[in-house]
Structure 1
Amino acid sequence: MTIRPIRIGVQIQPQHAEYKAIREAAARAEQLGVDIIFNWDHFYPLSGDPDGLHFECWTMLGAWAESTSRAEIGALVTCNSYRNPELLADMARTVDHISDGRLVLGIGAGWFEKDYDEYGYEFGTAGGRLNDLAESLPRIETRLGKLNPPPTRKIPVLIGGGGEKKTLRLVARHADIWHGFGDVETFERKVKILKGHCAEVGRDFADIELSTGVNGEPEELGPQLRERGASLFTVGVGGPDYDFSVLRKWIAWRDAQNS
């Protein structure tokens, strides 16, 4: 198995905070030394007051592209249902240029029904949304190849989700990064399934970076996930205060392990 250096991400959840606090949190995260700063692609909070303060994903990424300078940026993850895939490709290319090549294109099938109902999208079924994602990914790739100017680099595609039959097969075909969820045992099982899909489609499994969300003490959880191939560890923080105490521990652990 390829041993990648450890990277640390933070998901600055754009809920329950004014934008000034969100912008300051992104700046603090970059100063602390995170590798990637994520937001998420929802229209309402996922916790706390369901009608609390909230901001849109991609306009925020455009602002972060200007207000940060070193860390990669992206959505964890973009909902495929909300934008035409050709438009999304153009948005990604544009943010890639604004950020001088720091965008990660995170994408998934979508799941939060309130977003769909309130904004007029058809929720459908989980299988149908995954089929739509399977159709969109080649269209995104094709459009990225047609844009003038082209992206500054091959924009890394991160696919989030753990569906064993459809999602992980899409990861094997299209993703540079897979973001999984769940405990260590679940992560290990999904990695084995992803390896199988890679073998079936002729993809080198080593080309895919393995990512997971984390919380708690890195000295306990980090080595277990590391042994199973994870190299990108992301801490989620919500507003209004954006407490980075856990994030600081993971950054310190990364620096000790990578030294």
Structure 2
Amino acid sequence: MLRFGVHSGQQYSTFADCLELWQRAEELGLDWVSVFDHYRPPLGGPDGPCFDGPSLLAALAARTSRVRCAILVSAVTWRHPATAAAIAATIDHVSSGRLEFGLGAAGPDLAYEQYGLPFPGAGVRLDMLEEACQVMRGLWGGGPFTFHGEHYRLTDARLSPRPVQERLPLVIGGGGERRTLRVAARHADVWNTLAGDLAGYRRKVGLLAGYCAEEGRPPADIRQSLTFRAVLAATPADVERRRAERLALLPAGSPDLAEYLTFGTPEQCVEDLLGYAALGVRDFLLGCRPPLDWETIELFASRVVPAVRARVEN
């Protein structure tokens, strides 16, 4: 079954703005909404707004009733995995079992410098990610759980109450071909990455399948999830105007530019997404940032989603 949603992030100036998006996504019939887990994301400058990820997610989960609620993804540098496991279990209760929790090896964030937080090298962070997956999965089982790793040490650790879901979905985020995909092959229920070129995505899918084979795990056990951006226009005549309007809001050299899969009509977006569906993607998440592009969000829900469903599921 396909799932469609929006990746809202949390760079909003008011809670009401973010809540409006989440509740509207639910009204539009989407399946999923997610925040990320940054403190000082580079986009928006050194003083841009950004709510705390897990606490915002809990509040939004309490004000929705149907959509899957997720964090894409929580950086292993922010908190001990036992703390993250307790946060996740709590939000799973708040949401009545709708949580999907993402983990990643962390990326650029101005908080490391502004707040004086440690930012280890990539190899160390990936080692932390490997251990964090084991710790969180162990604790979600309730315990007692003992783990003695290089970065984390737990002895007869317990977590109560356990998550509502018998198996809380663990999402591994990232496209690193040497380490991140190996971690996903071992631990992920869902693998999420950003849209790039289709050939590059095909290569990553092949590598993930190879790593799964090494782990003795069917690749089909891991749900493929894609986050992308788009600017949609109702008619071809409106495409260039809509494109110019959105690009004018982005700073020069914005890292977001590489994430835009479609500047075009809903029909063009459908064709772009079908290429990824053919490679196994089953979750399509439209990335959103304020000021929100409501025209794109509504065209995605009303014209892209049903067309992709009809082409893939029928």
| Band the TM-score falls in, shorter-chain normalisation | over 0.9
TM-superposed CA distance for 1:250, in Å, is: 3.2
Equivalent residues of 1:7, 1:233 under 8 A apart: yes
The residue number in structure 1 matching 2:279 is 228
- Aligned equivalents of 2:93, 2:57: Cα separation in 1: 12
Equivalent residues of 1:6, 1:254 under 8 A apart: no
Over residues 96-133 of structure 1, what are the superposed CA-to-partner deviations in whole Å (9 max), with x where a residue is unaligned?
Answer: 01100000001101012422222332112111111111
Q: Which runs of 5+ in 1 are unaligned?
A: none
The residue number in structure 1 matching 2:298 is 248
The answer to whether residue 171 in structure 2 is matched with residue 158 in structure 1 is yes
- Aligned equivalents of 1:244, 1:131: Cα separation in 2: 40
Equivalent residues of 1:218, 1:249 under 8 A apart: no
- Aligned equivalents of 1:194, 1:183: Cα separation in 2: 17
The answer to whether residue 138 in structure 2 is matched with residue 142 in structure 1 is yes
TM-superposed CA distance for 1:17, in Å, is: 2.6
Q: 2:218 aligns with which of 174, 196, 204?
A: 204
**Corresponding pairs, count:** 254
TM-superposed CA distance for 1:257, in Å, is: 3.5
TM-score relative to the length of structure 1: 0.93
Equivalent residues of 1:12, 1:242 under 8 A apart: no
11-20 vs 68-77, which deviates more? 11-20
The residue number in structure 1 matching 2:242 is none
Q: Which runs of 5+ in 2 are unaligned?
A: 143-158, 231-261, 263-267
The answer to whether residue 73 in structure 2 is matched with residue 77 in structure 1 is yes
State the superposition RMSD in angstroms. Answer: 1.5
10-19 vs 60-69, which deviates more? 10-19
C-alpha spacing 1:11/1:197, structure 2 compared with 1 (3 Å): same
Q: Summarize the alignment of residues 1-259 of structure 1 with structure 2, pairs less than 5 Å apart.
A: 5-146=1-142, 147-153=159-165, 154-181=167-194, 182-214=196-228, 215=230, 216=262, 217-239=268-290, 241-251=291-301, 252-259=303-310
Greater Rg by CA = 2
Equivalent residues of 1:11, 1:235 under 8 A apart: yes
Identity across matched positions, percent: 37
Higher relative contact order (CA 8 A, sep 6+): 1
The one-letter code of the counterpart of 1:179 is: N
C-alpha spacing 1:186/1:247, structure 2 compared with 1 (3 Å): farther
TM-superposed CA distance for 1:145, in Å, is: 1.1
The residue number in structure 1 matching 2:238 is none
Equivalent residues of 1:15, 1:53 under 8 A apart: yes
